[in-house]
Structure 1
Amino acid sequence: MRTLAIGDIHGGFRALKELMDKLQIRKDDQFIFLGDYVDGWSESAQVVQYLIALSENYNCTFIKGNHDVWCEHWLRLGEANAVWLEHGGQGTMKSYEAFDKANKKQHLEFFESMKLYHIDNQNRLFLHAGFTSMHGVENESHKENFYFDRTLWEMALTMDKRIQKNSELYPDRLKHYNEIYIGHTPTINYKITEPMHAINVWNVDTGAAFTGPLSAIDIDTKAIFQTDKVMEFYPDENGRNKN
């Protein structure tokens, strides 16, 4: 059985289908999606519809990202957050024009059922962005950090790799879990187009919303699977200009 962590999709439905083809998915595969399914390219609603169908036949865990929080709010109340509209929400709303009320209700239920984090039986943590509590995710007082925090990743990047986990210098936040898998901060910010590894943190957001590919990683073998640049699937679009 493979466990595959998949980075931020951001409405790139065509790229998602290519990634699944490249994965040559098997019936016993487990998928852990790290959030931000919507906002960016023009097929956000189609991505959600595909993932709902996928979950009916495969073992899927869906983590909630900040863009998913905004879209869920709109689906529930019909109110479009101004920040969301500036960060891809307009295109997501447009993608729903072909979807009826029943479809939207199903999608809302899908967003509502998403997890803020997941810990597997090997003590590996999966979440969209990060957390700040030195006592672990169960003690995080500000749940928004699960889908907005960048300090976890920034801390991991700046750590001296010679520091061992049993050292007093090793951050308490990182000691709780064998590995941590996140999205949210595109690796292309660092001019890298593959998932990045820092200490025990893996960042699988390779900038699909901008100029990067969509990526997945086999968390046991660390094999990486990637699509072409997502922008190449949507040559007449600009994607999401802001993070």
Structure 2
Amino acid sequence: MQYVMSDIHGDLAHFRRMLKKIGFLPPDKLYILGDVLDKGCEHLRMLAFVRENPNMLLIKGNHEYLCERYLAGTVSGELWDKCGGGGTRREVDLLSREEKEELLDYLRGLPVYWKVEAAGQEYFLTHSGYHADFPVLCPDKIRVDIEASVRAAVESDQERYLFSDDIHYIPAGLCFDKKIIVGHYPTIFLEDYHQANIFHGKKYIDIDTGNECREEGGCLACLCLDSGREFYV
């Protein structure tokens, strides 16, 4: 089975509960759409758990990007803290120089998207989804080529792409060539939705159900791409 999760935010305990709930086995594949770090309490342990499992693939989110930039010396600890990274930063500061260099190389190498086929459907998995300044049309001049659009956005400004909320404000007439699955923006804050459930829109699916906002009713969600079944903890 193929599963997708997102925005775990250092919550290793609920992540483990989810794996148990879905009965995750070695033949299965789990795609995590970014933000395993920050805002929680077990950041590097959460990241290590994912890295040590060959059947788990992490796609870069804006919080992995913040960690990457901090390690590279291009973002201050103060700025990262303001974005919810204080706990992760303190853990990172305790690493040796060699460990920091290895972590930086790993984060730089994370993909920003992944393409998957399941149950006859092609999915485009990414953290934020789309940046409206970089639409690339398919040859039919009707649909947007989401892969080419994301690549153009990332090449221009990776930070702007990973922080973008544009997927939630696209014009009604805009169509994509693949079904997009995103995280990044909690469904409990989506206009006219406000539910801690996976959002199934006509153009995209949002699986970030607000795990970092449990005091506001959020939870951790998982979607099985093969069956369409949804899981929550």
Sort the TM-score into its range (normalised by shorter chain): 0.7 to 0.9
Q: What code does the residue aligned with 2:135 have? A: M
Q: Report the counterpart of residue 24 of structure 1 in structure 2.
A: 23
**Residue 147 in 1 paired to residue 162 in 2?**
yes
Whether the 8 Å contact between 1:32 and 1:61 is mirrored in structure 2 is yes
Deviates more, 1:87-96 or 1:31-40: 87-96
Residue matched to 2:230:
224
Deviation at 1:97, TM superposition (A): 5.5
C-alpha contact (below 8 Å) 2:77/2:89 kept by paired residues: no
Q: Distance in 1 between matches of 2:28 and 2:94?
A: 31
Partner of 2:184: 184
The equivalent of 1:129 in structure 2 is 128
Secondary structure of the residue aligned to 2:180 is strand
Supply the distance in 1 between the matched residues of 2:48 and 2:94 (Cα, whole angstroms): 12
Q: Within 5 A, what are the aligned runs for 1:2-41?
A: 2-41=1-40
Contact 1:128 1:146 in 2 (8 A): no
2:9 maps to amino acid: H
- 5+ residue gaps in structure 1? 160-168, 228-243
Measure the CA separation in 2 of the matches of 1:51 and 1:101: 22
Q: Does 1:138 align with 2:148?
A: yes
> Cα deviation per residue 1:131-184 (whole Å; 9 max; x = unaligned)?
2333233244332354122121233xx84xxxxxxxxx4x13x2x11x110001
The answer on whether the counterparts of 1:38 and 1:47 sit within 8 Å (CA) in structure 2 is yes
Which consecutive unaligned segments of at least 5 residues does structure 2 have? 137-144
Other-structure match for 1:210? 213
- Counterpart of 2:91, as a letter, is S
Q: CA deviation at 1:192?
A: 0.7
Question: Partner of 1:107 in structure 2?
Answer: 103
Change (3 A) 1:149 1:78: closer
Q: How many aligned residue pairs are there?
A: 208
Q: Which one scores higher on RCO, CA 8 angstroms, separation ≥ 6? A: 1
**For the Cα contact (< 8 Å) 1:33–1:61, is it kept in 2?**
yes
Counterpart residue type for residue 225 of structure 2: I
The one-letter amino acid paired with 2:153 is H
Q: 3-state SS of the aligned residue for 2:212?
A: coil
Q: Distance in 2 between matches of 1:42 and 1:28?
A: 29
Contact 1:180–1:201 under 8 Å retained in 2:
yes
| Cα shift at 1:91 | 1.2
Specify the SS of the correspondent of 1:83: helix
Give the structure-2-normalised TM-score: 0.80
Q: Is the 8 A contact 2:6 2:36 kept in 1?
A: no
Report the alpha carbon displacement of residue 79 of structure 1 after superposing the two structures with TM. 5.0
Shift in alpha-carbon separation, 1:98–1:15, aligned structure 2, 3 A: farther
State the Cα RMSD in Å: 2.2
What SS does structure 2 have at the residue aligned with 1:42? coil
TM-score, normalised to structure 1's length? 0.77
**Residue 102 of structure 1, CA deviation:** 4.4
CA-to-aligned-CA distance 1:87-133 (integer Å, 9 cap, x gap): 11211112336644444344323312211111224531011002233
Secondary structure of 1:104's counterpart equals helix
Q: Could you tell me how far 1:77 is from its partner in structure 2? A: 3.2
